Structure 1
Amino acid sequence: MLYGKEHVERYRATDGKEGHEWNGTTVLLLTTTGRTSGAERVNPLIYQRHGDDYIIVASYGGAPKSPDWYQNLQAHPEVEVQVMGDRFRARARTATPEEKPELWRLMTATWPQYDEYQTKTDREIPIVVLERASG
């Protein structure tokens, strides 16, 4: 099973032929800019489509704090996304309270553990909407 750095390397090398499908769901690569280092950080994340947008969850397995990639995109919302062989620029934003219930259902249908992760933490787990940049 692919995970972490190896997952990113195999995904990139094969345009997602290895790594897009993972544990019965689908994964994209999200590249953020480090909020303090300025360095690029790449994370394989479970996603779903919602219209033209890509939806990801900043669950961190239910840890008390948000994952670093989420903190990075709060500071630098311009990101790069790779889905299979398609690499594109996107703008990341946290789903609004009005959007979240529908998107949470979409994502828990894909990865039911998100409900369990939410019970492990007092923080509200954010859902992130990745909107493809035009042009």
Structure 2
Amino acid sequence: MTTTGIDWDHPKDPRPGWQLDHVRQYVESGGTEGHHWRGTQTLLLTTVGRISGSAVRTPLIYGEADGSYLVVASRGGSAEHPLWYRNLTAHPEVRIQVGPEVMQGTARTATSEERAAYWPVMVGHWPAYEDYQARTEREIPVVVIEPAGRKPAAGA
């Protein structure tokens, strides 16, 4: 399946709850609110559903390294990977909103060497990642998102 023809501008958002509230605040403010959250920074990741083929948006804590954005597929230490991670492993083309900037990008799982370098960066942003890793036998992936082009968010 190709991501050509995906309606990136009208993604499916999370179910009602704090994540949906976070996404709405982020989008409605053009990224001026919601980017900073609980002492860290967040972005909105839009992936292509591996089953639905539709755009799906998720708020995530992020870090930066070497011109790329980093996110962690923790799912709170669950034994299973989050859906967004399974989506991007099937379709690596993604869209992210970082504050007021929206950009397409390509996502990939960090190599072992990259993970060793990037894991401490991400734990610095959200120390609970260490607790999440202790809860599960799976190695929690760090995802590298390499941006392609940037444009201002709607309303920004």
Q: Structure 1 length as normaliser, TM-score?
A: 0.95
List, as ranges, runs of 4+ consecutive aligned residues in structure 1 with deviation greater than 6 Å.
Answer: none
Q: Structure 1 pair 72/14, CA: closer, same or farther in 2 (3 Å)?
A: same
1:16 aligns with 2:31: yes
Match of 1:91 among 70, 87, 106: 106
Render the CA deviation track for 1:38-77: whole Å, top value 9, x for unaligned.
1111000000111210000000000000000000000000
Q: Which residue of 2 aligns with 1:30?
A: 45
Identity of aligned residues (%): 48
The match for 2:22 is 7
Q: Scaled by the length of structure 2, what TM-score is found?
A: 0.83
Does residue 106 in structure 1 map to residue 121 in structure 2?
A: yes
Q: RMSD across aligned C-alpha pairs, in angstroms?
A: 1.3
In structure 2, runs of 5+ residues without a counterpart are 1-16, 151-156
Could you say which structure has the larger radius of gyration?
Answer: 2
User: Which residue does the alignment assign to 1:60?
Assistant: 75
Q: For residues 13-48 of structure 1, give each alpha carbon's deviation from its aligned partner in whole angstroms, at most 9, with x where no partner exists.
A: 112221101110000000001000111110000001
Question: Any idea what the Cα deviations from partners look like across 1:58-103, whole Å, max 9, x if unmatched?
Answer: 0000000000000000000000000011000000000000111110
Residues 1:69 and 2:84 aligned together: yes
2:74–2:82 Cα contact (<8 Å) kept? yes
3-state SS, counterpart of residue 146 of structure 2? strand
1:117 equivalenced with 2:132 (yes/no): yes
Contact 2:103 2:149 in 1 (8 A): no
Which ranges of structure 1 fall in alignment gaps of 5 or more residues?
none
For this pair of structures, how many residues does the alignment match? 134
Q: State the alpha-carbon separation in 2 of the partners of residues 5 and 110 from structure 1.
A: 22
